[in-house]
């Protein structure tokens, strides 16, 4: 399965913001839409990623206060990215290595969407469940004469 298939199933709703926006506003958007990340765009280019990880780190460093803090001050400026043609199993491996929960999918310089670790886990689970059902069906329908001669 390819990353593009996850995006096709998931849909193409994107949540982005600029680096100059307020972190408090970004947290409000993330909470309102039940999402864990925002892609940071500037002049049509990906310049970073804001996830709850960066927000929590900022809160810990600032005594729980986020007032006056700009997104660009805490965003991950070098996020892991994926291409639509990347195999999901390879993406899963890299996400585990880098402890990445959210990955922007880029087709060249164009943002296609964001894939979460949940999306990847769900896709792998569904693919393995399908294969498991096919194997069970194949074994169940195995011809009796082949079983006896084996």
All structural domains of the chain: 3-143 (3.10.580.10)
pTM of structure:
0.80
Average pLDDT over residues 32-44: 95
Supply the pLDDT for residue 145: 55
Residue 22, pLDDT > 90, answer yes
Q: How far apart are CA 8 and CA 143, in angstroms?
A: 38
| Helix, coil or strand: residue 36 | coil
Give the mean pLDDT of 3-8.
92
Is a pLDDT exceeding 70 seen at residue 147?
Answer: no
3-state secondary structure of 15: coil
Distance CA(17)–CA(35), nearest Å, equals 13
- 150 pLDDT higher than 60: no
> 70 CB contacts (<8 Å, ≥6 apart)?
19, 20, 21, 22, 23
The tally of CA atoms less than 13 A away on the side-chain side of residue 64 is 0
Instruction: Give the 3-state secondary structure of residue 22.
Output: strand
pLDDT of residue 73: 97
62/69 Cα distance (integer angstroms):
10
The count of other CB atoms within 10 Å of the CB of residue 139 is 8
Average pLDDT over residues 23-52: 96
- Strands 16-17 and 37-42 turn out to be parallel
**CA terminus-to-terminus distance, the chain:** 34
Q: What is the pLDDT of residues 50-96, one digit of tens each?
A: 999 999 999 999 999 999 999 999 999 999 999 999 999 999 999 99
């Amino acid at each position: 399965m390819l990353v593009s298939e996850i995006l096709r199933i998931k849909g193409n709703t994107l949540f982005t913001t600029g680096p100059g926006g307020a972190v408090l506003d970004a947290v409000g958007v993330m909470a309102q839409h039940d999402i864990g990340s925002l892609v940071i765009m500037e002049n049509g280019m990906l310049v970073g990623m804001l996830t709850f990880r960066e927000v929590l780190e900022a809160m810990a460093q600032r005594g729980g206060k986020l007032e006056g803090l700009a997104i660009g001050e805490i965003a991950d400026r070098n996020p892991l990215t994926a291409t639509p043609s990347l195999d999901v199993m390879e993406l899963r491996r890299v996400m585990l290595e880098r402890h990445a929960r959210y990955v922007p999918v880029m087709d060249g310089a164009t943002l296609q969407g964001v894939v979460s670790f949940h999306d990847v886990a769900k896709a792998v689970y569904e693919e393995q469940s399908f294969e498991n059902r096919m194997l069970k069906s194949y074994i169940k329908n195995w011809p009796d004469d082949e079983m006896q001669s084996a």
